[in-house]
């Protein structure tokens, strides 16, 4: 069996890959592993549990809550809230564990489970590995040691989490958003109520789309993976900018007043300059992944800001930030981490800070984002291949070497297995879009040939 935990928790088709039995078992295993690690020492443990609006989240939440309570953990059920809200509440409520049920930007049939440690930080890899091992051990027959009587966990709803989180978001802004009209695309997801409320409290005039979740329409033709509706709405309403979230609102992409996309790299660039201006960019450093556009790296060099690059995945960005005390990091996909105010990527916070920079400077987002010029970048997802052999295939190594020789210093190639889906991502950057497409197409064919 392959590793259950990917780069962003356990994820799969709900009720097929990710079943109620698995959700319950993983929750019990997490409780036992954290107890072994001393997290619960000397007190009765508490967990915060939240979810996005997917229909499957209803039964999976019930399974997680049952598992935790059966293991002696008290549960605060916060309902439908963004992933970063669950992380924040885990910290401010002093909980020992946070659990979020979401498959983020994935299609509705998928769901996922993500665990947060005390303080709202993602669990370390070694703890995830231990949870998986304990889960497997008990799934195959070893009985759990279960509390009885007053030792079982108690469950209650914590409706105050919504206001606690919104107040936090608005409270950390450097300035208000008065005078800005903003279109918000909530992807029919977890931020459908939180995000509009936060922007309004911060002073913006808000137009919402994709903010009517019914459990089945999450990410369906809307949100950060489908920007067409947002682009049209921004132009139609004459808005200053548009903000798009994904299903669990841990990421943010933007649209300028002309309807052009502003991606995660550009958002990072705008925020980095703003934070440096107010002495909030520690060590004048920003952290990003190897997927960041070469244009972002060149812009940061030109502005005198140091760029530290990590492996793909916001958890690796976060590890680098925590280890070295950096304040800002993120991914091209729109996962942006502002460590002074959040323990994970927070799409609503990112959108608010981006809008605050527009309001503070009086400059259009289009002008602010022009600090960097994106080099043409082509990304091809190659499904149904053995992604575990990306690093070991000699045939693939030869194809990559030939591509790199062709591109020279004016571009680059990156092949990587997806951490959340069964596919290999082929990324090619070049000064010329036709060359990027040509090279990427050949490499995608090589991946199919070598790994198919």
Q: Which of 27, 56, 104, 192 is catalytic?
A: 104
- Note whether 188 and 220 are within 8 A (CB): yes
Closest CA relative to residue 436, chosen from 417, 416, 413 = 413
Q: Does 74 show up as a binding residue in the annotation?
A: no
Residue 442 · residue 405 · CB < 8 Å: no
Q: Could you give the CA distance from residue 327 to residue 330 in angstroms, rounded to a whole number?
A: 11
Strand-by-strand arrangement of the 5-6 sheet: 5-6, 9-13, 110-117, 97-101, 46-51, 74-80, 155-157
User: How many Cβ atoms are within 10 Å of 121's Cβ, its own excluded?
Assistant: 18
250 labeled part of a ligand binding site: yes
- Catalytic (active site) residue 104: yes
CA distances from 361 to 257, 341, 368, 371 (A): 15, 22, 9, 14
Cβ atoms within 10 Å of 258's Cβ, excluding its own: 11
The answer to the question of whether 314 is labelled as a binding residue is no
Helices (H), 216-373: 228-237, 264-277, 294-302, 314-324, 347-361, 365-369
Check: CB of residue 102 under 8 Å from CB of residue 85. Answer: no
248 is in an annotated binding site: yes
Q: Cα–Cα–Cα angle for 254, 205, 52, nearest 5°?
A: 55
Binding-site annotation, residues for Mg(2+) = 104, 246, 248, 250
Query: Catalytic residue positions?
Result: 104
Binding-site annotation, residues = 104, 246, 248, 250
């Amino acid at each position: 069996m392959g590793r259950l935990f990917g780069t962003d928790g356990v994820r799969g088709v709900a009720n097929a890959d990710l079943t109620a039995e698995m959700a319950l078992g993983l929750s019990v295993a997490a409780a036992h592993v954290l107890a072994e690690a001393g997290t619960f020492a000397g007190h009765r443990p508490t967990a915060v549990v939240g979810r996005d609006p997917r229909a499957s989240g209803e039964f999976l939440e019930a399974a997680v809550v049952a598992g935790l309570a059966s293991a002696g953990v008290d549960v605060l059920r916060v309902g439908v809230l963004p992933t970063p809200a669950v992380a924040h509440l885990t910290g401010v409520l002093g909980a020992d564990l946070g659990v979020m049920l979401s498959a983020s930007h994935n299609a509705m049939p998928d769901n996922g489970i993500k665990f947060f440690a005390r303080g709202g930080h993602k669990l370390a890899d070694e703890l995830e590995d231990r949870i998986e091992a304990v889960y497997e051990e008990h799934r195959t027959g070893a009985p759990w040691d279960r509390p009885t009587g007053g030792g079982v966990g108690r469950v209650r709803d914590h409706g105050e989490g919504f206001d606690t989180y919104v107040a936090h978001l608005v409270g950390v802004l450097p300035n208000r958003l008065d005078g800005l009209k903003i279109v918000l695309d909530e992807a029919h997801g977890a931020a459908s109520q939180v995000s509009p409320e936060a922007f309004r409290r911060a002073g913006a005039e808000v137009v919402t789309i994709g903010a009517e979740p019914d459990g089945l329409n999450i990410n369906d033709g809307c949100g950060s993976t489908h920007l067409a509706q947002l682009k049209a709405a921004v132009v139609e309403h004459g808005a200053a900018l548009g903000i798009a979230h994904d299903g669990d609102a841990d990421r943010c992409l933007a649209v300028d007043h002309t309807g052009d996309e502003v991606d995660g790299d550009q958002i990072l660039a705008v925020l980095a300059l703003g934070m440096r201006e107010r002495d909030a960019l520690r060590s004048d450093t920003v952290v990003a992944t190897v997927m960041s556009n070469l244009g972002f790296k060149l812009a940061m060099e030109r502005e005198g800001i140091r760029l530290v690059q990590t492996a793909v995945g916001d958890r690796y960005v976060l590890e680098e930030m925590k280890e070295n005390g950096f304040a800002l990091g993120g991914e091209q996909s729109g996962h942006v981490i502002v460590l002074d105010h959040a323990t994970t990527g927070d799409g609503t916070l990112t959108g608010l800070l981006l809008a605050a920079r527009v309001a503070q400077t009086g400059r259009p987002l289009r002008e602010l984002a022009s600090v960097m010029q994106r080099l043409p970048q082509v990304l091809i997802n190659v499904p149904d291949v053995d992604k575990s052999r990306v690093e070991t295939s000699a045939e693939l190594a030869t194809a990559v070497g030939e591509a790199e020789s062709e591109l020279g210093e004016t571009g680059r190639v990156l092949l990587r297995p997806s951490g959340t889906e069964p596919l290999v991502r082929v990324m090619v950057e070049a000064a010329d879009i036709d060359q990027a497409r040509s090279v990427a197409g050949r490499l995608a064919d090589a991946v199919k040939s070598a790994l198919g």
